[in-house]
């Protein structure tokens, strides 16, 4: 296999090229063009490249197997985040206010490394690669599924994908049976009342007070409505109310937050409870409320038992793979939606930057993870193609 793999220098060059051109969800035109150019340079007779006119930054690639028993799928996300990079790296983002702060540049590079291997060795089974836009928001995976791109020969029987993890050693593979990542729901809520003079509160309906009470009350969802052996989180990161001075009672309060749970059932319960609390707060403080709950495609990433058992068995027994079983995480991923439609497995790839977190302006993944990541995935896919 080694002679068919891109080497460290080649992978690092690709990763640094991609790192410099981060783009936000559904705007990944430069990224698309870079990926398309690289993939096209590797064109072979058993490979087909497909664009999606309705979602023009997406790319699908299909390999015709030499003796196919199934179709295996591999997915990577391609979008960046609205963050000003603060790494100081010589190959830092060239796009102000945008950064690959979630490591999707690493994801794409590994996917290209795996794809390149199968341009040298025709796979036994069919393979479909998805370079997916809009993971961070706009749930590109669901959009593509709803467009019908996975029909007929483009539909995988099994789907695989990774996410980088800065807390794990470079190149380590980690996953688990069951839920790997939480499902999430964006919460947008506006309380509207009647503003007025701070000295005359009895003549007003204080939207700021309603919003503050709501933030406090919804913390009871996890502490009192969720089974204590389960996990969930309710967080509000944006709260804007009132005007410009301190002696005017606010007529409007706008809040944005997130809810997360490890099962779809729990998340739906949490959404129902939040709706009741919002209506109750509005009634209590005599204000109007407009609540928007948007889950979109961010369902829990629930690994399929059969594909995951095989994946773990291979990784645990491979001589050149560092594998670890791992707990569930409250991070969310729209690959969860696809795994609710097609059985498959998501896993972590360690990138050894424990001082920094995903979505942090100083995140700097260790590029030493690239070669072992590509090797582990290609070896697994080759092995899977030999199984009944």
Q: Which active-site residues does the annotation give?
A: 77, 136
| Span between the terminal Cα atoms of the chain, in Å | 22
What angle (nearest 5°) sits at the alpha carbon of residue 307, between those of residues 302 and 309?
95
Structure token digits, residue 181? 């990542």
In whole angstroms, what is the distance from residue 72 CA to residue 385 CA? 9
Distances 281 to 2, 4, 258, 260, 285 between C-alpha atoms, Å: 62, 62, 19, 22, 6
Burial call 36-54: b when 16+ CB within 10 Å, e when fewer: bebbeeeeeeebeeeebee
SS3 content of the chain, % helix, strand, coil (to 5): 35, 25, 40
Structure token digits, residue 267? 């998340």
In whole angstroms, what is the distance from residue 304 CA to residue 319 CA? 25
Structure token digits, residue 187? 């919460």
3-state secondary structure of 28: coil
Q: Is 202 annotated as a binding residue?
A: no
Q: What residues form DSSP beta bridges with 259?
A: 185, 234
Q: What residues form DSSP beta bridges with 61?
A: 49, 129
How far, in whole angstroms, is CA 35 from its chain's centroid? 19
3-state secondary structure of 174: strand
| CA-closest candidate to residue 200, choices 248, 251, 253, 241 | 248
Q: Is 102 annotated as a binding residue?
A: yes
Contact assessment for residue 59 and residue 51, using Cβ atoms and an 8 Å cutoff: yes
Quick count: other Cβ atoms within 10 Å of Cβ 280?
A: 14
What angle (nearest 5°) sits at the alpha carbon of residue 52, between those of residues 146 and 303?
50
| CA-closest candidate to residue 373, choices 77, 170, 151 | 170
The radius of gyration of the chain's CA atoms, rounded to the nearest angstrom, is 23
DSSP string across 321-374: --EEE---EEEE-THHHHHHHS-EEEEEEE---TTS-TT-TT----GGGHHHHH
- 313 φ, ψ (degrees, to nearest 5): -60, -45
Q: Is 136 annotated as a binding residue?
A: yes
Binding-site positions for Mn(2+)? 102, 104, 136, 163, 359
């Amino acid at each position: 296999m080694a002679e068919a793999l891109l080497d460290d220098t080649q992978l690092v060059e690709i990763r640094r090229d991609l790192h410099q051109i981060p783009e936000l969800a559904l705007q990944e035109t430069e990224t698309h063009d870079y990926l398309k150019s690289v993939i096209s340079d590797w064109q072979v007779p058993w490979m087909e490249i497909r664009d999606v006119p309705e979602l023009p930054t997406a790319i699908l690639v299909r390999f015709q197997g030499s003796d196919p028993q199934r179709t295996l799928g591999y997915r990577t996300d391609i979008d960046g985040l609205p963050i000003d990079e603060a790494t100081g790296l010589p190959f830092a983002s060239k796009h102000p206010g945008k950064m690959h702060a979630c490591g999707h540049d690493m994801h794409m590079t590994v996917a290209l490394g795996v794809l390149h291997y199968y341009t040298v060795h025709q796979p036994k089974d069919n393979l479909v690669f998805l370079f997916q836009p809009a993971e961070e928001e706009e749930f590109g995976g669901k959009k593509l599924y709803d467009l019908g791109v996975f029909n007929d020969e483009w539909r995988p029987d099994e789907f695989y994908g990774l996410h980088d993890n800065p807390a794990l050693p470079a190149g380590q593979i980690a996953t688990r049976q069951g839920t790997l990542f939480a499902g999430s729901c964006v919460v947008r809520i506006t309380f509207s009342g009647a503003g007025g003079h701070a000295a005359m509160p009895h003549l007003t309906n204080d939207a700021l007070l309603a919003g503050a009470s709501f933030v406090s009350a919804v913390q009871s969802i996890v502490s009192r409505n969720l089974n204590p052996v389960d996990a969930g989180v309710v967080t509000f990161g944006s709260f804007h109310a009132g005007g410009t001075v301190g002696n005017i009672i606010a007529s409007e309060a706008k809040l944005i937050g997130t809810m997360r749970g490890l099962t779809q059932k729990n998340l739906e319960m949490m959404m129902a409870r939040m709706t009741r609390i919002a209506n109750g707060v509005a009634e209590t403080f005599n204000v109007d409320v407009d609540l928007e709950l948007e889950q979109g495609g961010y369902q829990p990433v629930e690994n399929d038992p059969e594909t995951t058992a095989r994946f773990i068995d291979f990784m645990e027994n491979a001589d050149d793979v560092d594998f670890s079983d791992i707990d569930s995480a409250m991070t969310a991923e729209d690959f969860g939606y696809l795994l609710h439609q097609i059985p498959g497995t998501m896993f972590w790839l360690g990138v050894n930057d424990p001082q920094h977190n995903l979505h942090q302006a100083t995140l700097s993944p260790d590029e030493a993870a690239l070669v072992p990541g590509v090797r582990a995935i290609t070896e697994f896919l080759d092995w899977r193609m030999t199984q009944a």
